């Protein structure tokens, strides 16, 4: 009877090792997949912030053009669009023109554009993004 129990004990021990090995492999695979998912989530958040910063940037440009059509000397340091501030730097590259550099931030993302605008008639001559 003791020989039978000893044989069962050896069989149980030999079955335990593959189960532990499969468990370790399963945990490794799970950790790799979850790490990849977290990386994808972080990338999606940054992309979302980039889209929002771009929309704030374009909204600030639109607001600047509207105000410039009212007052040709309009030159604020900041401008708010949906309660999100944009930094502006305005200069005069040529007579009858304004160049504006607009910077908008959202989260960890910073977007910038430069627009050259002719005053009379009010025309956007160029918009560039770095």
DSSP H or E stretch at residue 59: helix 2-70
- Per-residue DSSP letter, 77: S
What's the total number of domains in the chain? 1
Q: What CATH number does the domain containing 8 carry?
A: 3.30.1300
Name the pairing type of β-strands 123-128 and 78-81. unpaired
Smallest Cα–Cα separation from 56: which of 121, 7, 112? Answer: 112
- pLDDT digits 0-9 by tens, 10-35: 666 677 778 888 888 888 888 888 77
Q: What domain range includes position 92?
A: 2-128
Q: How far is CA 76 from CA 22, 24, 66, 101, in A?
A: 65, 61, 13, 11
- pLDDT digits 0-9 by tens, 51-104: 888 888 999 999 999 999 999 989 898 888 777 889 999 999 999 999 999 999
């Amino acid at each position: 009877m003791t020989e039978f129990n000893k044989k069962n004990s050896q069989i149980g021990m030999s079955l335990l090792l593959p189960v532990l090995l499969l468990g370790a492999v399963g945990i490794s695979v799970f950790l790799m997949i979850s790490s990849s998912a977290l990386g994808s989530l972080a990338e999606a958040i940054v992309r979302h912030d980039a889209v929002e910063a771009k929309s704030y940037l374009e909204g600030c440009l639109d607001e600047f053009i509207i105000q410039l059509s009212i007052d040709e000397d309009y030159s604020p340091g900041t401008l708010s669009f949906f309660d999100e501030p944009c930094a502006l730097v305005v200069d005069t590259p040529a007579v009858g023109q304004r160049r504006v550099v607009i910077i908008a931030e959202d989260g960890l993302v910073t977007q910038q554009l430069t627009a050259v605008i002719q005053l009379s008639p009010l025309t956007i001559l160029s918009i560039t993004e770095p």
